[in-house]
Amino acid sequence: MIYLDNAATSYPKPPTVYEALDHFARHALANPGRAGHKMALAAEHTLDNARHRLNRFFNGRNPERWIFTLNGTDALNIAIKGVLRDGDHVVTTNVEHNSVSRPLVALAEAGRITLTRVSAQEDGRVEPAAIEAALTPRTRLVAMTHASNVLGTIQPIAEIGRLVRCRDLLFLVDAAQTAGVVPIDVQALCIDLLAFPGHKAMFGPTGTGVLYVGPRAENLIRPWREGGTGGDSSSPTQPRELPYYLEGGTPNVLGIAGLIAGLDFVEERGPDHLRQHEVSLCEQVRHALLDMPGFQVFGPADPSLRVGTLSFRHESIPAGDLGAILDQSFDIAVRPGLHCAPYIHKAIGTYPEGTVRISPGPFTTQEQIDRLLAALREITAGV
């Protein structure tokens, strides 16, 4: 199969990730922090090492602020529901994935918060001035994606982060599409809460996620789940110390071992290099489709403003049909539909059918892109 759905989950993983998962599962898969024997200590060391590695890679304040979660959605729920209080106002955008939108809409519909959704420009960029104009005296949180999973647009979070910090508000960034392919410095970008899954451009397995909790959010956030921590078992409530305050239950230590092997790969190749490869392949597809009759391509024309994600549609063939034909007749995996981001599809006029999205990865080859384009030409010939 030609796999072009890396924006959903990266595949294949680097060989070292599979090796790390196999080795850990065979030799160190004990319950971290729950016992004093050698395997439990080795498992705990894996988590401690992972926090140090993430803290260095994203320039966090200290390792204890890195919380391991079930996935990116879980990390976002911990952040959103942990810091918001009744009566708060939240600013978000129409570019968001449902992992941000749905928790916020549910809180708003329950009458617990008020919500303002700022619209992006046609190319998917959210202007900092539009965020600033939406702020009110009751605003507590600005929550937004770093890059659109539909249009690929990278948002100006450095500017937005500074203006949010100047207003003494909290800034939550969903880095699902950027962690691993766009350099992120949480301190320089004024990010208070950073959430991302481990299974995309960090090349870990599914069932892994990360939440960074900065100093300004630490005293506000409340636990999303409570339970065992393996350390302080005498406390009747969740121990206040990070990371255990937000990590109730046994963590996916096997998945974290794979995630750190993925981070090794990212650091070896470099985020900029990885992104350049993916964007370059998307650019070839974009230019080819612009010359093919019946296709419409979405997102910014400037490749420096995008991650390696490209959405398009055909005037005569529905996105779902086009995706199914590519899969069944050509063994090419793409992602048709709304991509869990209905608001931006409404904005660009592709709702409810959606678009076809391709997202190459580090192992995608030129030959595979050529085969995709040949397949699209064959499918649309004579339509």
What stretches of the chain adopt beta strand conformation (E)? 2-3, 66-69, 88-93, 113-118, 139-145, 170-174, 193-197, 209-213, 295-298, 310-314, 332-333, 335-337, 355-358
Q: Is 272 exposed, middle or buried (0-12, 13-18, 19+ CB in 10 A)?
A: exposed
**Helix extents (H) in 28-118:** 38-58, 72-83, 98-109
**Pair of tokens at residue 186:** 């949480």
Please spell the DSSP secondary structure of 133-163, one letter per residue: HH--TTEEEEEEESB-TTT-BBP-HHHHHHH
CB-CB contact of 343 with 150 (8 Å): no
> Rounded to whole angstroms, how far apart are CA atoms 103 and 173?
15
Helix 98-109 vs helix 72-83: angle between axes, to the nearest 10 degrees? 30
Taking CA atoms, 268 is separated from 203, 239, 261, 272, 273, in Å, by 13, 37, 11, 11, 10
Is residue 340 part of the annotated active site? The answer reads yes
**Pair of tokens at residue 298:** 């979405």
The dihedral of CA 322, 327, 329, 331: what is its sign? positive
Are β-strands 193-197 and 170-174 bridged in parallel, bridged antiparallel, or unpaired? parallel
CB-CB contact of 237 with 226 (8 Å): yes
> How many Cα atoms sit within 13 Å of 301 on the Cβ side?
4
Reduced to 3 states (helix: H, G, I; strand: E, B; else coil), residue 101 is helix
> Rounded to whole angstroms, how far apart are CA atoms 268 and 319?
37
* Annotated catalytic residue within 166, 190, 282, 340: 340
Q: Which residues of 343-363 are buried (b: 16+ CB within 10 A; e: fewer)?
A: bbbebbebeeebbbbbbbbbe
**Helix extents (H) in 241-270:** 253-269
Closest CA to 309 of 189, 217, 158, 201: 201
Catalytic (active-site) positions:
340
